[in-house]
Amino acid sequence: MNSEDKVKILAITIDNAERNKGVLARIAKDGKGELPFPILTDERHKTIDSYGVFDPAYIGQEFEGIPHPAIFILDKNRKVLFARIEPDYKKRPTNAELRVELDKLK
């Protein structure tokens, strides 16, 4: 079994389900197709808070609870195997870096 057989990708946002539908529709219109993973809603930022990615820069603002951009790889028991929390949304791990981490699941 390769790592793709074990991997599920999820995105989490504070946006409500209706707004997420709009985001998904805009993404689908960009010519690259639909996202191959769901966007989950965490309006009260419980998951965001529990993973320590709450961005305090948004406290008291319209969208309080916006997280720092982050990527987590968890095992089937929800143990965090890899975490990258990045205050700068432009800095993301490369696909190659993520592949190395995913290959560790074998």
The whole-model pTM stands at: 0.75
What pLDDT digit, counting tens, does each position of 42-54 carry?
Answer: 988 899 999 999 9
What pLDDT digit, counting tens, does each position of 62-106 carry?
Answer: 877 789 999 999 888 888 989 999 888 888 888 899 889 888 877
What pLDDT digit, counting tens, does each position of 4-39 carry?
Answer: 457 888 899 888 999 989 888 888 888 778 888 889
CATH (one of 2.60.40.10, 3.40.50.1360, 3.40.30.10, 3.30.70.980) for 3-103: 3.40.30.10
The two tokens of residue 54 are: 């709450």
